[in-house]
Amino acid sequence: MIQREVTDKENTTWTCAQAYSGLEGKEGEKAAELAENKDGKVPVVCTPSGGAQSVRLELDSNWNEQLSDEELVQAIEAAQ
């Protein structure tokens, strides 16, 4: 499963993972394909280390490679 951790200015560590990224083989490919919307966005769930609530984001499909840590934190903060 592709996941990424970022820490915000309040020292909360967020673990973000693309929905369905843990599925393997053809099932995983099909689920990822179905999850991507017509704008090339995919659902990403970010779970905090502390008492904050998880957030669901819609990010570009290449979010893990192209989005900086700061941009990911900003997206999380905007979704809260």
- Give the domain range for residue 36: 3-79
Q: What is the pLDDT of residues 43-74, one digit of tens each?
A: 999 999 977 799 999 999 899 999 999 999 99
pLDDT at 33 over 70: no
Pair 6, 73: CB distance under 8 Å: yes
d(CA 72, CA 51): 19
d(CA 75, CA 79): 6
pTM of the model: 0.78
Query: What is the reported pLDDT for 23?
Result: 47
d(CA 4, CA 14): 8
Query: What is the reported pLDDT for 39?
Result: 78
| 10 CB-side CA count, 13 A | 11
Number of domains in the chain: 1
Q: What is the pLDDT of residues 1-16, one digit of tens each?
A: 678 999 999 999 999 9
